[in-house]
Amino acid sequence: MTTPSPTHTTDVAIIGAGPAGLFAAFECGMLKLGCVLIDALDEIGGQCAALYPEKPIYDIPAHPAIEGGALIGALDQQIAPFDVPRLLGRRVERLEGTRGAFVLGTTKGDVIAARAVIIAAGAGAFGPNRPPLEGLAAFEATGSVQYFVRRRADFAGRDVLIAGGGDSAVDWALSLREVARSVKLVHRRDRFRAAPESLRQLDEAVSRGEVEKIIGYQLHGLHGTDGALAGVDLATLDGTVRHVACDHLLPFFGLATDLGPIAQWGLDTLRGTIPVTPSTCESSLPGIFAVGDVATYPGKLKLILQGFTEGAMAAHAIHPIVHPDRALHFEYSTSKGVPAG
């Protein structure tokens, strides 16, 4: 079977348009490497845009706090001079070739010829871990049960029950207390896996009566009519049941993730991630790089800022693949400015 003619020819194909992918595109542009962004979502931004556009992020350098959507907007503005094509709403289902000559195919029939590939797919395709509750789908359909908060205003004046013990549960309890009529946080034990500062703020909010903690209980049942939630039953391990009246249930039990077709491309993988060489972010297949949450190596921190660094390292490692006869002399952006796209 003959390979279809490319619909796009570029230096670097970047799979994933979340923060790490967007900054990798910027770094490629700074090195005068052409690139194409590809993402399964219909908008750029990855989890920042899809899951928490209004949630503050506190560990972005020079920003004491910045909402996920605002961060994506700033990254989008940063790559604007390079006119990076975006192939959104499609997945890369096929990757063939070798270092310097890859061909990628998408679910919408795009054929991309690229000299190198950067996988910035985050955790891959993602979806919520749903609690095993009878009748759950009807309450999901009306928005009474939600797994992501896109607009805090949707919960204004409402009674909200949040379930979970991680950062998302704690952070949203703190954030929604400012708009909701009441916020209750339920967890099976009085030990939360959240940032120490967030836990300090939670303790203060509980002491002021802004958030109620319900400890030792788990979700047990849903009550309501036609998808409108009226309350949730909680149960202890010994069978004690407590009913909590609420308008919304927000279960934060993590994401179920899947690398999808990426796992079939012959790359070494490790529990849903791609091991890379730390100094270059190159995977086990020459010419294919991984950055952001999908990349792993000893000492890896799953922070957005580390994904930014990895994007820069990958772009510099790709330069000799695209320009083998051109030496790359490092220059600070204050000296060279932003080159034309």
Q: Can you give the three-state secondary structure of the chain, one letter per residue? A: CCCCCCCEEEEEEEECCCHHHHHHHHHHHHCCCCEEEEECCCCCCHHHHHCCCCCEECCECCECCEEHHHHHHHHHHHHHHHCCCEEECCCEEEEEEECCEEEEEECCCCEEEEEEEEECCCCCEEEECCCCCCCHHHHHHHCCECCCCCCHHHHCCCEEEEECCEHHHHHHHHHHCCCCCEEEEEECCCCCECCHHHHHHHHHHHHCCCCEEEECCEEEEEEEECCEEEEEEEECCCCCEEEEECCEEEECCCEEEECHHHHHCCCCCECCEEECCCCCCECCCCCEEECHHHEECCCCCCCHHHHHHHHHHHHHHHHHHHCCCCCCCCCCHHHHCCCCC
Q: Are 14 and 35 in contact (CB under 8 A)?
A: yes
* 297 marked as binding residue: no
Across 181-254, the runs of DSSP E, i.e. the strands, are 182-187, 212-215, 218-225, 228-235, 241-245, 248-251
Compute CA 22 distance to the chain's CA centroid, rounded to the nearest angstrom. 12
3-state secondary structure of 28: helix
* 293 marked as binding residue: yes
* 92 marked as binding residue: yes
* 247 marked as binding residue: no
Q: In whole angstroms, what is the distance from residue 278 CA to residue 281 CA?
A: 5
Q: Are 197 and 220 in contact (CB under 8 A)?
A: no
* 257 marked as binding residue: no
Residue that the structure tokens 């990076």 belong to: 84
Question: Which residues participate in the annotated binding site?
Answer: 39, 47, 52, 92, 126, 293, 334
Question: Which residues participate in the annotated binding site for FAD?
Answer: 39, 47, 52, 92, 126, 293, 334
